[in-house]
Amino acid sequence: MAEVDTAHGGQEVAAHDVAHTEGEVHRHPAPTNFIRKYIFSIDHKVIGIQYLLLALVSVFIGMFMSVLMRLRLTWPEHSWAGLGSIFKLGAPGGVMSPEFYLSLVTMHGTMMVFFVLTTAPQGGFGNYFLPIQIGADDMAFPNLNMLSFWVTLVGFLVLVLAIFAEGSATVAAWFNAKPTGTVGPIGGWTAYPPLSALGFRAGPGQGTGQNLWIISIAIFCVGSLLGALNFITTLLNMRCRGMSLMRMPLTCWAWFTTAVLALLAFPVLLGGGILLLLDRVAETSFFIPGGLVVSDTLLTNHKGGSPILWQHLFWFFGHPEVYIAILPGMGATSHILATFARKPVFGYRAMVFAMFGIGLLGFFVWGHHMFMSGMSPYSGMAFSILTLSIGVPSAIKTFNWLGTLWGGKIRFHTPMLYAIGFVSLFVAGGITGLVLGQTSLDLPMHDTYFVLAHFHLVMGVAAIFGMFAGVAFWFPKMFGRMMSERLGKVHFWITFIGVYCIFVPMHIMGIVGMPRRYAQFTEYEFLKSLHPLVVFVSIAVFVTAASQLIFLFNFLWSMFKGEKAGDNPWEATSLEWAIPSPPPHDNFAGIPPVVYRGPYEYSVPGAPNDFIMQTEPDPTEVQEPSARDAGDARRVTGDGDNGHQH
């Protein structure tokens, strides 16, 4: 193994590393009361758990909405007992109205995309584990970290308020409005104008509910920007001695790339949201064209706006958002596959560059969402070529995951099952992306169930399997107890089979031509033959949704009654497994760690165990204490970026 310095760039120790002392160093004292410890906490670990709990609440709300949607699609005229008493205006007599269904579509998508897929992987796991994995005692800006969570929570509460503002007469009266019976706006999670820009004139839910929706997303953007700044600063400036960039776990690279994407993408959505709100309340015309006729009335106070402008702004954010949701899952999957295959990650550096390649290309492909907008065929060709090019770094990651598994001594624990499930779903969803990336194929299938199935597999379900893997893997570290392996495997198999039973038939529906955002299909003769498939998908949804109660029970029960976990139950190598479970205040009890190798040193020839911790030096790799104390840089052998060297 070649001798290298332990610098952040792999050359020499940075000044802030040298400043670390051998004594205890505490950036802030431990909290002394309940409020500062668990509510307004500045501890990144508590904030990470707060984000995870927020996402847990959001996912069950979103999942409940999806169940209602399937009931309406499958049995559109059926009266559901009790539903009429809960949603008196939206489901009179227990029969859901079409507008009620459309508002469910909007709020389900919004809740899942923003408050689950964006919140849990980055805000939850990233906040908790990024500082520990790089050897820091906290995030760079602890108070800003606390603020980012509370801003996000306010955004969530405003979104919930939009539900009641349209469905409850009491809440609607707060805004001098009348309830419409929906559970929010009916314009979809993309909020396309002019429907979303015209206010109550555009239909039920498009008044107060749409205003609150825009405000909620704007607030969420602010919280995400605060978090992104904190992540980037923490990773670049607070790595411990010896933690070079190429010695970081791939999870850290994923959270870093995601933070960069969020920093560049969310300001665009924030700006677009402000312009949309001005169109609604200040009579501006950013997105409203002239000569628009609504309900047989010509609108004369708007001219010159462009609905297509909103599509450009939204999707310039929207496609990087796909990778904001999926990249942390990629990082966690890489980390977990290596741990349970007992092998170094295959092609570590290629994985890092592929991750950055996916993030970079994600900013150049937003136009593939707009092939139907009338864009120039030459623009469509450019966006199509760029879209297909993302398959290259995606394929690199996929083959490297398979290379990591190949020949390994695989341990099929629950986290490993979820990680393998992530790879399967990512590939299955990604293949259909190659179809939709071609204009000639996208045009006939745009706004059909084929698109719905594609993005749910690759962005939704795959990302959620990454979260399941992260929970099962890091639960012992967060709470000091093990989750039930038996319940975890039962939940995995029901969910894994269930999601394929849901989304594979949807591809068939889309090829036939079944359109999205329709509340029922009984009026269409050419779709009647698909009704048995609609029923099958709905049953799969009900079974899969019910199985999530197994996960919820396992999560909550194990938190208090689970088997006590050791410090390193998975025999992993990264820094979080070198400290007690759960971690102490300041993570390393005020004593900064020193890193001597990469994060995936498994099955090392001649080693006493089949793994070597990042903090474990070889006797021949460390200088004498006298030289170290004199201020000389520590020197270790092997950069560890590709595991051990042979």
pLDDT digit string (tens) for 315-354? 999 999 999 999 999 999 999 999 999 999 999 999 999 9
The helix or strand, by DSSP H or E, that contains position 293, with its residue range, turns out to be strand 293-294
Going by pLDDT thresholds of 50, 70 and 90, the confidence category of residue 1 is: very low
How far, in Å, CA of 244 to CA of 342, rounded?
A: 23
| pTM of the model as a whole | 0.92
pLDDT higher than 90, residue 58: yes
- State the chain's mean pLDDT as an integer: 91
**Between 6 and 29, whose confidence is greater?**
29
Going by pLDDT thresholds of 50, 70 and 90, the confidence category of residue 620 is: low
Closest CA to 124 of 194, 36, 58, 217: 58
* DSSP structure string for 321-389: HHHHHHHHHHHHHHHHHHHHHTSPPTTHHHHHHHHHHHHHHTTS-GGGG-GGGT--HHHHHHHHHHHHH
pLDDT at 635: 41
- Phi and psi, residue 637, nearest 5°: -105, 145
Contact of 224 with 268, CB cutoff 8 Å: no
pLDDT at 19: 37
pLDDT at 626: 43
Rounded mean pLDDT of 123-134?
97
pLDDT higher than 60, residue 17: no
Ranges 60-74, 443-457, 515-529, 629-643: which has the least confidence: 629-643
Closest CA to 446 of 382, 530, 385, 375: 375
The two three-digit tokens of residue 269, written as one number: 């959505």
How far, in Å, CA of 360 to CA of 265, rounded?
A: 12
pLDDT higher than 90, residue 623: no
pLDDT at 297: 87
Tell me the HSE value of 126 on the side-chain side, using a 13 A CA sphere.
32
pLDDT at 5: 39
The two three-digit tokens of residue 481, written as one number: 């107890």
Residue-wise pLDDT tens digits, 253-304:
999 999 999 999 999 999 999 999 999 999 999 999 998 988 888 888 888 9
Alpha-helical regions (H) of 438-461: 439-445, 449-455
pLDDT at 30: 80
**Between 471 and 625, whose confidence is greater?**
471
Contact of 292 with 194, CB cutoff 8 Å: yes
Closest CA to 26 of 478, 577, 576, 585: 585
Contact of 646 with 605, CB cutoff 8 Å: yes
Number of neighbouring beta carbons within 10 Å of residue 624: 9
- Phi and psi, residue 236, nearest 5°: -75, -30
Rounded mean pLDDT of 190-198?
95
Q: How far is CA 503 from the centre of its chain?
A: 19
List the CATH code of the domain at 41-290+308-561.
1.20.210.10
* Cα separation values, 189 from 174, 221, 301, 476, Å: 24, 15, 27, 36
Ranges 23-32, 215-224, 509-518: which has the least confidence: 23-32
By percentage, how much of the chain surpasses pLDDT 70?
Answer: 91
To 10 degrees, what angle do helices 462-479 and 531-561 make? 10
Look at residue 262 and give its three-state secondary structure.
helix
pLDDT higher than 50, residue 39: yes
Contact of 333 with 466, CB cutoff 8 Å: yes
| Structural domain boundaries in the chain | 41-290+308-561
Q: 410: buried, middle or exposed (CB in 10 Å: 19+, 13-18, 0-12)?
A: middle
Contact of 310 with 272, CB cutoff 8 Å: yes
Taking the alpha carbons of 420, 422, 427, 432 in that order, is the dihedral positive or negative?
Answer: positive
pLDDT at 295: 83
Number of neighbouring beta carbons within 10 Å of residue 30: 11
